[in-house]
Amino acid sequence: MNMKKILTWAGIAFLLFFLISAPAQASATVTGILDSLRGAAESVITFMQNLFQ
């Protein structure tokens, strides 16, 4: 078994453990990530709008 496969399964196991043991914190983490992505997308849109005005 190669190292990449082992690390992938270990990462999945850690995520499942995190979701089961601390669902509120996991939810807050996902919400934070999605908010960051939304903010980045809004920044790109604002940049493009200002660029082409």
Report pLDDT digits (tens) over 2-52. 999 999 999 999 999 999 999 999 999 999 999 999 999 999 999 999 998
* CA dist., res. 53 & res. 42, Å (int): 17
In the chain, the number of structural domains is 1
pTM for this entry: 0.67
Number of neighbours of residue 29 by Cβ within 10 angstroms:
13
Decide: 19 and 26 in contact? Cβ < 8 Å. Answer: yes
Assess contact for 26 and 18: CB atoms under 8 A.
yes
Domain that holds residue 25: 3-52
- DSSP symbol at 1: -
Cβ neighbours around 32 below 10 Å, total? 10
